[in-house]
Structures are given as C-alpha cells and as structure tokens.
Amino acid sequence: MQRRDYLLSQLDILEAESIHIFREVAAEFERPVLLFSGGKDSIVMLRLAQKAFWPAPIPFPVMHVDTGHNFPEVIEFRDRRVAELGVRLIVASVQDAIDSGRVVEQKGRRASRNRLQITPLLDAIEEHQFDAAFGGARRDEEKARAKERVVSFRDEFGQWDPKNQRPELWNLFNTKIVQGEHVRVFPLSNWTELDIWDYVRREDLELPPIYFAHTRQVFERDGLLLDAETGFANRGEDEPEFAATVRYRTVGDASCTGAVKSNAATLDEVIEEIAATRITERGQTRADDRTSEAAMEDRKKEGYF
C-alpha cells in the first residue's frame, strides 16, 4: 500500500489558522465586517473568507474607508471585485466627513488624508453597530502592528491601549465585550509579505495593476517616489516630476504612499524581489509612518486600523 504524505506546507498552516479565526469570530460576534481596500492583503482576506464559509456566501459585508485620494486603478478593482463576489460594499467617506465638518483637512505640501480615516471608520462602526472588524494588518509590517493581538480589543471610544491587552494562549481568544465596544481581528497576523505573495500566486488571485512594474510620472520627496499623476500629493515647484519604471508594495492614500523603482512585471519577478529585499514595505513606501518614531502607534491608539 502506498504511504500518503500528510505534511502541510507553510501556506497550508497559515491558511488553516486564518480560516479558523474567521469561523471563530463569525460564531462569536453578531455583526462582523471585513475592511477591504483593494490592496493585496485584503484581497487575500476575501479569498480566505470565501474558503471559510464555502459553499455559503461570505456572511458579512465589506467596508472601505475611502480617503477620496486613492489610486483610480485600485478603486476600479475594488468595485469590480466586490461585484464579482456579490458581497455588500459599505464606503465610509473621508470627503463626506470633511464636508460635514467632522474632520478638518490638512493644508500645505505634506497634507495627507491618511489620519483623517479614523473618524469615518469609527463613525461607520457605530452607525452599523459592527462588533468585530476584520483587518489585513500583519505583524511583520511595522512595530506597532507587531504588538496587536489577533483579536484586539477596542473600548467604547474605538481606542486601543497597547499596555492593556488580553492574553492569547495558543488559539484561545477572549471575545467578550459589552455594548459599545468592539474588536479588531487580524487573521493575517502571522503572515509575512512574502507569504502573501506566495499565496497570491498559489491561488491565482488578481491584483490591481499598480503592484507590477509600469511607467509612471513621479517626484522625489525625502527619498520617496510619490505619485505625480493624480495630483493628490501636493507637489511643490522645486519637486520636478519625471517618468520612472516603478511598482507599489502597498496601496493607500496617494498623498503618502510611495512607489519603488522596479522592473518586476510578473508575479514570479515580484516574489523574487520581495525575497531579496532588506527593507519592510511600510518602511520603504509610507511617508505617514515617518512623521515620528511612534506615528503608527499614536494613530492606532486613536482608532486607526
């Protein structure tokens, strides 16, 4: 009799853990929501959610906190993907929050709407009474995200206290909350950027085209190549634009998300590039994380993703 090999691959183990988290949270909470930006991590999250509940449909809506300054290619992909899956998309709009006076838009060359996402996010969670919000953050992205638990408690004001977190032993999660509180849930906590790309290849997942090398008008600021095509990045007269062959490692608000010089135009080439890099994706591409040593942690304490 032929002996079967039951060893699981690294991706099999990560996938199984994430699916367990999706199912556990869907069973324990009444109104979950999946945060979906159209980026690679949330695309993987959608795939995992599909598998977790198949053949039933995904049993919760997806929500995008739209700064109004997103890359057009990503918004087109977002709308098309959720339509293909038949899931309900909720858009929490930063522009609406500005128009209503809930937030005040920054001025000046370095103005960004990234931090302004906090208020619409918390407003939408309260309006729809979501008690669990799945997010695509990974611990390898940034040191504040490395402190997060898989099921991470938020108080009645949507705030996070990194010094007051619930212990998580093995796969045991404390899901107890009272009305007004909620949790953020991170099924990809133990994944790396390379795991994400390997999974995208294994599952043959489509991504927005800006993840792959293309020619783009950019300009340089503080060592970052910022987008000069959309006009969201407030380019100064002393910051000349030029054409470069680039791709994006992350997709977010175009005013603070930098591109990287790259000729990686295929999945295999991107994976080879990621395997060799010594710089984290946020460290290489996000201006908003450079404003202070604790920039991300400060935002997260206020209710950021």
**pLDDT tens digits, residue range 41-66?**
999 999 999 999 999 999 999 999 99
Q: Residue 275 domain-assigned?
A: yes
50 with 147, same domain?
A: yes
Q: Is the pLDDT of residue 20 over 70?
A: yes
Residue with tokens 């920054």: 106
Instruction: Tell whether 63 and 148 lie within a shared domain.
Output: yes
Are both 167 and 51 inside the same structural domain?
yes
Q: Are residues 40 and 185 in the same domain?
A: yes
Do 161 and 216 belong to one domain?
Answer: no
Over residues 202-217, the pLDDT tens digits come to 999 999 999 999 999 9
CA 143 – CA 293 distance, rounded (Å): 10
* Same domain flag for 76 and 190: yes
Residue labelled with tokens 């040191």:
143
Mean pLDDT over 193-200 rounds to 97
200 falls within a domain: no
Q: Distance between the two ends of the chain, CA-based, in angstroms? A: 52
Residue 161 lies in a domain: yes
- Reported pTM: 0.91
Examine the domain organization and report whether 49 and 190 are in the same domain: yes
Judge whether residue 88 has pLDDT over 70: yes
Predicted confidence (pLDDT) at residue 172 exceeds the cutoff of 80 = yes
In total, how many domains does the chain have? Answer: 2
Q: Is residue 203 part of a domain?
A: no
Q: Are 224 and 78 in the same domain?
A: no
Domain, as residue range, for 26: 10-195+294-302
| Residues 24, 148 within the same domain | yes
Structural domain includes residue 132: yes
Peptide bond into 32 cis (omega under 30): no
Same domain? For 225 and 182 the reply is no
Whether the predicted pLDDT of 6 surpasses 90: no
* Pair 70, 144 in one domain: yes
CA distance 103 to 117: 9
Residues 80 and 172 in one domain: yes
CB 192 within 8 A of CB 35: no
The answer as to whether 153 is a domain residue is: yes
